[in-house]
Amino acid sequence: MVTGGLSPRQALAQVQARLEAAGCPDADFDAWELFRLAAGRDPHLSDQPLSPAEAQRLEQFTARRAGREPLQYICGRWPFLNFELAVGPGVLCPRADTEVVAEAAAGQLKGVQNPRVLDLCAGTGCLGLGVKALRPDAEVTCLEKSPEALQYLRENARSALAGLPGQTRPAARVVEGDLFTYWQTLTPGGLDLIVSNPPYLTGEEMASLQPETAREPAMALAAGEDGLDFYRALADHYKAALRPGGALVLEIGWQQRQAVTGLLAAAGWTGIQCRQDYGGNDRCIIARA
């Protein structure tokens, strides 16, 4: 148990050992983050022993992480691009791989003034707000179905980009709705960009989730037996909402490039290409209306 009076080095070693014993990946990084969260300082830059209150907080955080609660949920906020997002139980954790999708999406808007952007299955809003952070002139709408996720989305739309140059508040319009029917409400040709990180796990993948991912909402992960339910709807129903030449940018699972590309091509999308994430895995599909 973490107790007051331990040096930062001693506390860090103890927490890391407990997390490793619990099977947590990246236990050294997690231990550093938990210490920083509990004590408000970098354990590598401080010799000040833990106070009893700091030790109690670190013990609580360590127990939660050893129970395989996602680190993002424990921290309550998580960095994405150049801002931070509120995150917690009930919403998908933002991931570094998704930054590649946000950057690719913003890159499709070159030469478009005041672009109109729709983020489907928005979750925390990381994609829509990521585009807004990179293109402050964008008019962004974020669609989300889950009542739990909407709480975080609304908070992030209000405050995540506050202080960044050229940003308005709120940074995005938040809409409660379902991707499978929302297309019926859209004006033909009214959008310049649609971006989405939809659920894309197969039934087999859902049955073998890592403990941390199993704590995230199944609604944000499961997409039918083949993992393609949402991509079918996107391919079939959302092209008309884009202006001619408007872009669709999708996050995909690392094995889904061929399947998603095939769905889009069959539905008449053009200019289809794929980009990889920082780990070299297929991660982002771009297509044009």
Establish whether the linkage from the previous residue to 49 is cis, with ω within 30° of 0: no
Q: Coil, strand or helix: which one is 251?
A: strand
Quote the CA–CA distance of 234 and 150 in Å, as a whole number. 21
Is there a single domain that holds both residue 188 and residue 136? yes
**Mean per-residue pLDDT over the chain, rounded:** 95
pLDDT category of residue 3 using cuts at 50, 70 and 90: confident
Q: Distance (Å, rounded) from C-alpha 72 to C-alpha 24?
A: 13
Tell me the torsion sign for CA atoms 277, 280, 283, 286. positive
Residue 222 pLDDT level (bands cut at 50, 70, 90): confident
Quick one: what percent of the chain has pLDDT higher than 90?
Answer: 88
| Whether residue 161 is found in the same domain as residue 235 | yes
pLDDT attached to residue 96:
93
Q: What is the pLDDT of residues 78-124, one digit of tens each?
A: 999 999 999 999 999 999 999 999 999 999 999 999 999 999 999 99
pLDDT exceeds 80 at position 2:
no
How many other CB atoms are there within 10 angstroms of residue 243's CB atom?
A: 16
Considering the domain architecture, whether residues 177 and 243 belong to the same structural domain is answered as yes
252 and 128 assigned to the same domain? yes
Domain count, the chain: 2
Same domain for 49 and 176? no
Examine the pLDDT at 240 and tell me if it is beyond 90. yes
* Same-domain pairing of 94 and 51: no
Residue 260: is its pLDDT beyond 90? Answer: yes
* For the chain, percent of residues with pLDDT exceeding 70: 100
Full domain range(s) for residue 43: 8-67
Q: 192 phi and psi, to 5 degrees?
A: -100, -25
Q: Is residue 1 one of the residues assigned to a domain?
A: no
Is position 197 within any domain? Answer: yes
Please tell me whether residues 61 and 97 are part of one structural domain. no
| Predicted TM-score of the model (pTM) | 0.93
Do residues 58 and 172 share a domain?
no
Shared domain for 183 and 53, answered yes or no, is no
